[in-house]
Amino acid sequence: MRILAIETSCDETAAAILEIKNSYFNLRSNIISSQVKIHAKYGGIVPEVAARKQIEMIMPVINKAVICLPGKNLKEKIKNINYIAVTQGPGLITSLTVGVETAKTLAFTLNKPLFLVNHLEGHIYSALLNKNQNYGKLIKIKFPVLALIVSGGHTMLVLIKKNNNKIIGETLDDAVGEAFDKAAKILNLGYPGGPIIAKLAAKGNSKKFNLPRPMLKSHDFNFSFSGLKTALLYLVRDLKRQKKLSTQTIQDICASFEQACVDVLIAKTLSAIEKFKPSTFILGGGVAANQLLRQTLAQKIRTEFPKIKILMPEMKFTGDNAAMIALAGYYMIGSQIKFGMTKKNNYKRVKAEPNLKLSA
């Protein structure tokens, strides 16, 4: 089985070719065109700018992805795919539309089945590609699964059983990745905020400033990061009134902020594990690249719940990529859950869904 996957939910333009046979995968290509430098000058993603660049890059990225396939030319190569999978949502409507319309056109032209993938499910499945190489045996999941999805647009805990998903907790305001970006903006550190703050935090004292841990004792599994962001804003404002922030002070602020975010994420996750007793824990999303979160969370789970299998994606699969969309598409194909359209269906019904929810 050979799948072409397309991912354009935010600012990346990505395409991948994934081959799967007898539970073994071979990631033939995983191409990502990033726009980080373009949006850095704005301090965040500008949707219209992102979509225009994706329109420009979508076919070059796909062409680069399929070059690995057999065939004398591009036309022959692309015919050697069996299925097409594309991110339908959630995400930016203008960006999603670029990917969905491109996938529809290819599926119709090549007469291939099209599968519409939820971006969040892609982040969950990314942990199953947990190999340093681009090939290997797919990791088997033992249900039930508890997944913590942490990214720029989402922060949620999802309980997954064999036949259904249930969101048991989510952010009531900012996602944790968004909070990192806003914190970096408050400190004039640049964009994207997560990696910058983590790098500075590594040299700081996380106990220097006492920042709040919102909803830490709320007795549910929801999150909130707007209060933490506001507390940081006031802290920086007050410190600047006294004197210019030194490098060490900025590092201490970053460390304190990062620790506050991680403390909340870990506390909620451990509480959910205690209540729902999953067999497997999965971490997914762009913020899954944060080393403090990865290491501390893994250590805590191993200590308090040693029987749970912990799955975390390789660093290259934490951000938005098409490999995870291909794998999610594979499981849809295997389950015959054809949310996408085949040649017998009406392609006009296929559209991007910016507010797409996880399927129950």
CATH number for the domain that contains residue 328: 3.30.420.40
Give CA–CA dist 282/222, Å, rounded. 18
Regarding whether 150 and 295 lie in a shared domain, the answer is yes
pLDDT of the residue at 342: 44
Regarding whether 345 and 271 lie in a shared domain, the answer is no
Kind and range of the H or E run holding 30: strand 24-33
pLDDT of the residue at 333: 83
Regarding whether 205 and 307 lie in a shared domain, the answer is yes
Residue 358 located in a structural domain? no
pLDDT of the residue at 339: 45
In a 13 Å sphere around the CA of 279, the CA atoms on its Cβ side amount to: 8
Residue 136 located in a structural domain? no
Regarding whether 153 and 21 lie in a shared domain, the answer is no
Own/partner contacts of 15-22, CB < 8 Å, gap of 24 or more, are: 15/61, 15/62, 15/64, 15/65, 15/66, 15/322, 16/65, 16/321, 16/322, 16/323, 16/325, 16/326, 17/65, 17/66, 17/68, 17/69, 17/81, 17/326, 18/323, 18/326, 18/327, 18/330, 20/138, 20/330
Regarding whether 327 and 259 lie in a shared domain, the answer is no
Q: What is the DSSP letter of 355?
A: T
Regarding whether 182 and 117 lie in a shared domain, the answer is no
Residue 139 located in a structural domain? no
pLDDT of the residue at 346: 59
What are the beta bridge partners of residue 156?
Answer: 149, 170
- Domain of 84, in residue numbers: 2-130+320-349
Residue 135 located in a structural domain? no
Tokens of 241: 């009134």
Q: Give SS3 for 177.
A: helix
Q: Give SS3 for 310.
A: strand
Residue 354 located in a structural domain? no
Tokens of 112: 């291939």
Q: Is the dihedral of CA 211, 201, 131, 321 positive or negative?
A: positive
Regarding whether 306 and 175 lie in a shared domain, the answer is yes
Is 335 marked as a binding-site residue? no
Q: How many CB atoms lie within 10 A of CB 37?
A: 8
Is 151 marked as a binding-site residue? yes
Is 95 marked as a binding-site residue? no
Is 119 marked as a binding-site residue? yes
Give CA–CA dist 172/169, Å, rounded. 9
Residue showing tokens 């979508």: 58
Residue 43 located in a structural domain? yes
Mean pLDDT by 10 residues, the chain (360 residues): 97 97 92 95 93 98 95 90 96 98 94 94 91 79 96 96 92 97 96 97 98 95 97 98 95 99 98 98 98 98 98 95 96 64 60 90
* CB 263, CB 214: distance < 8 Å: no
Tokens of 52: 């225009």
Give CA–CA dist 85/77, Å, rounded. 17
Regarding whether 209 and 68 lie in a shared domain, the answer is no
Task: Give how many domains the chain has, as a whole number.
Answer: 2
pLDDT of the residue at 163: 77
Is 118 marked as a binding-site residue? no
Regarding whether 221 and 99 lie in a shared domain, the answer is no
Residue 335 located in a structural domain? yes
Residue 357 located in a structural domain? no
In a 13 Å sphere around the CA of 285, the CA atoms on its Cβ side amount to: 22
Is 181 marked as a binding-site residue? yes
Question: The whole model's pTM is what?
Answer: 0.94
Q: How big is the CA angle at 149 (ends 142 and 318), to the nearest 5 degrees? A: 95
Query: Between β-strands 145-150 and 155-161, what pairing exists: parallel, antiparallel or unpaired?
Result: antiparallel
Kind and range of the H or E run holding 261: helix 247-276
Regarding whether 164 and 109 lie in a shared domain, the answer is no
Q: Which residues are CB-neighbours of 336 under 8 A, at least 6 positions away?
A: none
Regarding whether 301 and 330 lie in a shared domain, the answer is no
If we measure between CA atoms, which residue out of 219, 204, 302, 301 comes closest to residue 257?
204
Regarding whether 214 and 189 lie in a shared domain, the answer is yes
